[in-house]
A and B are shown apart, each in its own frame.
Chain A
Amino acid sequence: MKLFRKRLSRQWQFNLTIFKSIADWTVWVYLCIPAALFSYFLYRETIMQKQFGLLEWVPFEVFLFVLFYFLQMGIIRSFLEPADQLFLIQQKAHWRKLLVSGLIYSLSLQILFNVLVLGMLFLVFIHLYHLTVLEIMLIFCLSVTTYLWKQFIVRTDFREWFQTILQLLLPLIMTALFLVVPTFLGMFISCAIIALLLALYIQRYVFRHHSFDKLLRADRAQYYLLVGTVFSLSKELQSMKAPKKTGKKPRYFTKRIIQDEVVELIVKTFIRNKTYKWAYLRLIGITLFLYFVLPFWAQILLVIATHFMLKGYTNSVITEMREHPIHVIFQISAERWNAAQLTVKSKLIRSIMVFVIVYFIGVNLFF
């Protein structure tokens, strides 16, 4: 237990350090606090007022599938470290204690998380989908079953795409189980599966050592989850990552497309850098989706936020391009850069904002 406590405390210290490294007062003032307030008011004005918006069009089966998929995200932590293959593996008692503690810790956290999510959706279940409390409890049991089953999938040697298919299949099976099997029987089956899966996990991973690599791989992925998220959020840290590989030659826009070479550099980089492109499309996609879900007052706030988000994103991406070491060779003056940056920003942001506003009006007029 001492070893587990030590590693757990190290993990949280690590998480805290990572969080502190990005969350200075500006992040609190401009991101964390507004996001928290926005979420609170949104929840209060929608779900608590029984205004379910877009959810009213979502069939219960689809909602349940998405929910099960979302609730299986976590991983059972083993708290193993690479050097344990040399030392801890020989100390059976310590090994088992560490793995059992990891299992209890992860399962407790997951149960807490699932209860919290289901609790927040309680009114949706009751008033929109007309479920009973017993049925909600069945959803909880099935969500824990999905989570435990997933642990075996991620520790297999299957290819990643096949693991993804299996992970999609699991929530589908659970949805079918909920819809087909009577509630009491469903609860009995799901509790039996939970007990069986737990016993299997302990027998397979706690009492045997041959899966060390798989346990370590899964654990490391979870350990670095926050770091990975921070990396994908912070532009500054993102630049430390190796860029995603491009092909041998570009497929599109191989000729000169814009007369101004700096604007062309920005545009072509934007098109060819997968991280920039997908982050941008994700940002637009999520924003456009939110217009369907949010109440009117929140949509107006979102239009303003969209403008600032696009501006901030475009700025940070162009700054990254501008700081590329190639400019020791190309020697572009600051004035040229500023002019090109202004051109790109004004054209890109203005055109998208026009589209967003038209979309916003359209959503409110026709839906």
Chain B
Amino acid sequence: MIHIAIQSGGYESNQNILHDIHFDLIPGQLVGLIGSNGAGKSTTIQAMMGTLPYMEGSVQLPAYGYVPERPILYEYFTLQEHIDFLIRSVGQDDSVLQQRANKLCETFQLTTKLSEYPTKFSKGMQQKVMLILAFTPRYSFYIVDEPFMGLDPQAMRRLIQLLNELKQQGASILMSTHALDTAEKICDRFVLIHEGTILKKGTLAEIKDGVNVEDNSLLAAFDALLEVKK
């Protein structure tokens, strides 16, 4: 189990954006990090990864796969070279990783683009490259930040299948997303963030518990919690 304990954090000293973010990531579970724009989801992820300039707290992460909010690509590497570099640098069985990368390229229909620079791809295709790079190695933990952004419906369906497979294999996954209807279907637990602090956390039933909502959706519960907070 991974325990996240962030006391405070931000981009400048004495200007904390995050306050008391504590939650657990259990093996075989997908946790949805939910919040409005600017709530602090990506900042929380950065604090976990150790890339936030100022952070107080303790986060011990194992080696992990990461899908960033916006595609990050190397201008001077082709797709094949991105994959090849990753395979060589993670220190897992090269042939197994190569097979998995090939399968992912087929899944996301990028096999014909291997010799091209991904920086020249469309936004959706770049997002698929990010997914291939994150899911080629086998990790016990994955961070996926807005993974559905720019994906076509087929790719979204394949990604959901992939996340389910990883869960079944015992991986912990933290997913930040605005797609609440999808999150509601695939996440096991939720961490609702508002203004840099946790609004509520738990399973969907626990989130809804004590909240007066018209329908049973996560969105309605989230809205109601925000109203109460105001």
Measured CB to CB, the residues of A under 8 A from B are 243, 246-250, 254, 256, 261-262, 264-265, 268-269, 272-273, 324-326, 328-332, 336
Contacts and interface: CB of A to CB of B under 8 A. Distances in A.
Contacts of A331: 63, 89-90
B89 A332 contact: yes
Nearest to A264: B85
Residue of A247, A254, A330, A336 ringed by the most chain B CB atoms within 10 A? A330
B81 interface: yes
Given A261-B89, A330-B86, A248 B77 contact: no
B49 A328 contact: yes
B140 to A, nearest CB: 15
A326 B78 CA distance: 13
Contact of A249 (B66, B85, B115, B130): B115
Contacts of B63: 331
B84 interface: yes
Contacts of B85: 261, 264-265, 330
A262 B75 CA distance: 15
A246 B74 contact: no
Contact of B78 (A254, A264, A273): A254
A257 to B, nearest CB: 10
A349 to B, nearest CB: 21
Contacts of B72: 325-326, 328-329
B51 interface: yes
A331 B51 CA distance: 12
Nearest to B74: A326
Contacts of A273: 75-76
Contacts of A332: 89
B151 to A, nearest CB: 18
10 contacts: A246-B117, A249-B78, A249-B115, A268-B81, A269-B74, A324-B74, A326-B72, A326-B74, A328-B49, A329-B134
A248 B79 CA distance: 11
B230 interface: no
Residue of A246, A248, A256 ringed by the most chain B CB atoms within 10 A? A248
B117 A330 contact: no
Contacts of A249: 78, 115-117
Contacts of B134: 329
Interface in B66-120: 66, 68, 72-78, 80-81, 84-86, 88-90, 115-117, 119-120
B78 A250 contact: yes
Interface residues of B, number: 28
Contacts of A268: 76-77, 81
B191 interface: no
Given A246-B76, A249-B116, A261 B51 contact: no
Interface in B122-136: 130, 133-134
A248 B49 CA distance: 32
A243 B115 CA distance: 20
Contacts of B115: 249, 254
A36 B133 CA distance: 51
Nearest to A242: B75
A242 to B, nearest CB: 10
Contacts of A261: 84-85, 88-89
A264 B84 CA distance: 11
B73 A326 contact: yes
A269 B76 contact: yes
Given A261-B89, A332-B89, 15 more contacts: A243-B75, A246-B75, A249-B116, A265-B85, A268-B76, A268-B77, A324-B74, A326-B74, A328-B49, A328-B51, A328-B66, A329-B72, A329-B86, A329-B134, A331-B89
B93 to A, nearest CB: 16
B25 to A, nearest CB: 19
A347 B60 CA distance: 38
A262 B78 CA distance: 15
Given A246-B75, A246-B76, A329 B84 contact: no
Contacts of B119: 246
A248 B75 CA distance: 11
A256 B133 contact: no
Contacts of B68: 328-329
Nearest to B88: A261
Nearest to B129: A329
Given A248-B117, A254-B115, A261-B84, A329 B51 contact: no
Contacts of A254: 78, 80, 115
Nearest to B121: A248
Nearest to B130: A329
B84 A256 contact: yes
Contacts of B89: 261-262, 330-332, 336
Contacts of B75: 243, 246, 273
A331 to B, nearest CB: 7
Nearest to B86: A330
A272 B78 CA distance: 11
A261 to B, nearest CB: 4
